[in-house]
A and B are shown apart, each in its own frame.
Chain A
Amino acid sequence: MTNRLAYPLAFASGGLLTLMVLFNGQWAREGTPLFASWMAHGTGTAAALVFLLLLRLGRRPSETRRPAPLWAYLGGLSGAVTVMLTSTTVNSFLALSGTLALGLAGQAGFSLLSDRFGWFGLPARRIGGTDLAALALILAGSLLVIFT
Chain B
Amino acid sequence: MLQPILFAFLGGALVSVSRAINGRLSLATSAMTASFWNHLVGFLFLSAVALLWGGLMPGGWPDAPVTAWFGGTLGVLFVASGSWLVARIGATLTAMLVIAGQMVSGVALDLALGQSDNLLPKAAGVALILAGMMLARRGR
Contact = CB atoms under 8 A, between A and B. Distances in A.
A142 B50 contact: no
The binding surface of chain B is classed by DSSP as: helix
B7 A85 contact: yes
Residue among B7, B22, B118 with the most chain A CB within 10 A? B7
Contact of A111 (B21, B29, B92): B92
Interface in A102-142: 102-112, 114-115, 119-123, 125, 127-128, 130-131, 133-142
Given A22-B109, A42-B43, A10 B89 contact: yes
The 3 closest A-B pairs by CB, nearest first: A14-B101, A106-B12, A141-B128
A130 B135 contact: yes
B128 A74 contact: no
A61 interface: no
Interface of B: 1, 4-5, 7-25, 27-30, 32-43, 45-47, 49-50, 55-59, 61-65, 67-82, 84-107, 109, 118, 121-122, 124-133, 135-140
Contacts of B24: 68-69, 72, 120-122
Contact of B59 (A2, A6, A30, A98): A30
Interface in A3-21: 3, 6-7, 9-20
Contacts, number: 413
A107 to B, nearest CB: 4
A143 B94 CA distance: 18
Contacts of A125: 90, 92
21 contacts: A10-B85, A11-B101, A16-B74, A16-B78, A24-B75, A32-B57, A48-B32, A48-B36, A51-B32, A77-B41, A89-B8, A89-B11, A102-B5, A106-B9, A106-B14, A112-B91, A112-B92, A114-B16, A137-B131, A137-B135, A141-B132
A66 interface: yes
A131 B75 contact: no
Nearest to B106: A18
Nearest to B16: A110
B74 A20 contact: yes
Contact of B81 (A9, A41, A73): A9
A72 B107 CA distance: 35
B72 A41 contact: yes
Given A11-B133, A107-B12, A76 B71 contact: no
Contacts of B61: 31
B78 A76 contact: no
A115 B88 contact: no
Given A10-B101, A18-B109, A74-B21, A35 B62 contact: yes
Given A17-B78, A85-B11, A136-B132, A111 B22 contact: no
